[in-house]
Amino acid sequence: MMSLRPIHAAGALALGLLAAGCVSTPGAPADEPAFVVLGEQGRASARLLTRAAACPEIVLDGRATPMRVRVPYGAIPLRPGAPAALAQAPGGAVLACEADLPPGAASASVRGQPLPLPRREARRIVVIGDTGCRLKQPHFQDCEDPDAYPFAQVAAAAAAWKPDLVVHVGDYHYREDPCPAERPGCAGSPWGYGWDAWRADLFAPGAALLRAAPWVMTRGNHESCARAGQGYWRYLDPRPYVPGRDCDLPSRDRTGDHGDPYAVPLGGDAQLIVFDTANTSWRGLPPQDPRRAIYGDAWRRIDLLSRDARYNIGVAHHPLLALGANRDPQTGAVTLFGGDRGLLDAFGDHDPHYLPSGLSMLLSGHVHLWEQVSFSSPHPTQFVSGFSGTAEDTAPLPDAIPPGPARRPARWSSTSVPGSTVSAS
Ligand SMILES: [Fe+2]
């Protein structure tokens, strides 16, 4: 069932966190989605993904102007060196169009469809994450079963709540391998990294919510260059599309796997600071790994951005300060794990508390559960909203963090607790 939990945070800001839902889906023509993405300093970009030969006009406050071509019509190309099986994946071609929405615009529409406009103060914020249907060895969801794959219901329920803003904390694309013949629940699903799989994983089930409010599109590890990064840059990133930064060539992944942090004002002297963590590693980042310096630079940029507002909410796909659990299928023993080790390594170079002191909250996904952790120490509150479509993690978390070194966020990794002493979260 869906739970919307209003949280009074950052003064006037009210935040609703969405975990899961079950409401009927309205008819949603999602073949050619039109939506709005918020980026640096809240700049709004209208997007249309279409099979038409040319971009249509956008009507802004009654005046029609042409949309720009963001990415010419075509299929997403296969990356050199990609697994041979991907050549068999269904592709699909689309033209990506965009237009800047001027601040203060009172109305905008494309092909007669009204577009959601940013509010001066975002008071009703939906946070979702990890929304795709997992088709990847060895785990397969029944994408056609709304109980097994509920994203369309979650999106419809969140849209009915009439949010001012949607924050997606990343991992949109999950359909990486073909549905096995013995799984009728996902039979016929598109797969691979082309438009057809993107449409099935995000734009079709998310249609109602894409129409309801502008979105902040955080990048997840599923959108790294080696996975669905090509679609991320083409369809979702709020900034201009830059050939060479589009993950098409592995030789350019150093550029394509990282985007600079940016701030999205919320009104009321509050802002989101969104940062791209797609290329981190849960195994950690040793000092000689170039990503450690890249994420260190991101830390500095987050710190600078945080000085522009009184209340700062970090948004990153990977939690730094949360707790997850794995259960050994043989013994039933539950092992806890902590925040992303790579980010803790890189951010820990700059601050023993990991995140810049100006951040009071961090919104994340990645771990497929709903969680909120607060600290007596000066760490920000960590929220995890990571099962808005993909399967929920069912290994139980303890009611209380076990005593000992596990009480310190950086030392949560590899903490073992007996399965019999924990209860379902
Ligand atoms: Fe993830």
How does pLDDT run across 256-290, given as a tens digit for each residue?
A: 999 999 999 999 999 999 999 999 999 999 999 99
Residue 24: pLDDT above 60? no
- H helix or E strand, kind and range, residue 155: helix 151-160
CA of 225 relative to ligand 1 center, distance in Å: 14
CA of 108 relative to ligand 1 center, distance in Å: 33
Following CA atoms 226, 231, 236, 237 in sequence, which dihedral angle do they give, to the nearest 10 degrees? 50
What backbone torsions phi and psi does residue 382 show, to the nearest 5 degrees? -110, 125
No. of helices (H) and no. of strands (E), the chain: 7, 24
CA of 223 relative to ligand 1 center, distance in Å: 9
Domain locations in the chain? Answer: 4-424
Where are the extended beta strands (E) located within 191-261? 215-217
The Cα 45–Cα 60 span in angstroms is 12
Could you give the count of Cα atoms lying within 13 Å of 319 in the half-sphere of its Cβ?
A: 33
Give the pLDDT mean for 157-166.
Answer: 98
Following CA atoms 393, 399, 401, 404 in sequence, which dihedral angle do they give, to the nearest 10 degrees? -120
pLDDT of residue 409: 57
- Give the SS3 label for residue 230: helix
Residue 225: pLDDT above 70? yes
- If you count them, how many residues does the chain have? 425
CA of 170 relative to ligand 1 center, distance in Å: 7
CA of 173 relative to ligand 1 center, distance in Å: 10
Mean pLDDT of the chain: 88
Q: What is the pTM of this model?
A: 0.90
CA of 418 relative to ligand 1 center, distance in Å: 26
Give the pLDDT mean for 374-385.
Answer: 90
Instruction: Convert the pLDDT of each residue in 95-115 to its tens digit.
Output: 999 999 999 999 999 999 999
Residue written as token pair 């103060």: 121
- Listed residue (171, 166, 275) closest to 220, CA to CA: 171
User: What is the side-by-side strand order in the sheet with 113-114?
Assistant: 63-66, 57-60, 108-110, 113-114
Instruction: Convert the pLDDT of each residue in 326-365 to its tens digit.
Output: 888 899 888 888 899 999 999 999 998 899 999 999 999 9
The Cα 280–Cα 293 span in angstroms is 12
